[in-house]
Amino acid sequence: MVRTSVPALFASWPDSPAPPGERFGLWAYFLLFVLVLLSSAGVPFIGTVSVGGAAVLAAHGHLDLIPVLVVSVLGSEAGGIVGYGIGARWGRRLLLRPGRGLEKRQKVLTEGERLYAKWGRLAVFVTTAMISGAAKMKFSQFVVWNLITSTAFVLAVGPASYGAGRIVKGDRDSTSIGLLVFGVAVAVVIVWYAVTRRRRRRAAPAPEPGS
């Protein structure tokens, strides 16, 4: 049986309907959106856990994978924009306010600015949205690169978690293995691209004085 919420393109994917009464409704996708949004806005750790957990629930038939991926990307993009806005308007004030942890917060800001100076727009992959705003990255550039980063992150975590969830459940078919490999491959490509770009930037000749 193929659930109607899965696009026809993916109709050949293995189906694993949950027992009656255990399919989660729209509230689950809304909760996923909120959690990923909060994570991208600056709340640590919950993004990866939320996307991975939702993909595992999809592997067990409680959710659908495609909506999980789409909602995760949208939540990550929205949260990134919120975090950027906070950083652009109040970031330095928040990070440099007197009090406990000031030295650590100063270090975070200094490191973020150093990464943007060395990596340029690629720093979006390894810094928070608030740091992007505080570092005065152009908003139009941030929106595009945050979307790229969000999509890459979701395509790495989601399919890998879905495939792993199905394999653990006992569905060791080619699609489950393929999705696991695909997610891992996306993560590897992200790391390779970031390292390659960083090496190229470091090897580039310094600009001539006055140019």
Angle at 74 (CA atoms; ends 89, 45), nearest 5 degrees: 70
Q: Which two tokens stand for residue 90?
A: 């109040």
**Measured distance CA(183)–CA(157) in Å, rounded:** 6
More confident residue, 131 or 81: 81
Q: What's residue 86's pLDDT?
A: 87
Per-residue pLDDT at 119? 66
Q: Does the structure show a pLDDT above 70 at 13?
A: no
Q: Is residue 118 part of a domain?
A: yes
Top pLDDT among 127 and 91 is at 127
User: Would you say residue 207 lies in a domain?
Assistant: no
Whether 17 is covered by a domain: the verdict is no
Mean pLDDT score of the chain = 78
Q: Based on the structure, what is the number of domains in the chain?
A: 1
Question: Exposed, middle or buried by CB within 10 Å (0-12, 13-18, 19+), for 187?
Answer: middle
Q: Is residue 74 part of a domain?
A: yes
Mean pLDDT for 3-9 is 38
Q: What is the pLDDT of residue 182?
A: 85
pLDDT digits (tens, 9 = 90+) for 166-201: 888 887 778 788 888 888 888 888 777 667 766 665
In angstroms, the CA 6 to CA 11 distance is 7
User: Whose CA is closest to 95, among 120, 125, 128, 118?
Assistant: 128
Contact 202, 194 (CB under 8 A): no
- What's the pLDDT band for 106 if we cut at 50, 70, 90? low
Report residue 11's pLDDT band, with 50, 70 and 90 as the boundaries: very low
Which tens digit of pLDDT belongs to each residue from 48-63? 899 999 999 999 999 9
Residue 162 structural domain: 24-202
User: Does residue 190 form part of some domain?
Assistant: yes
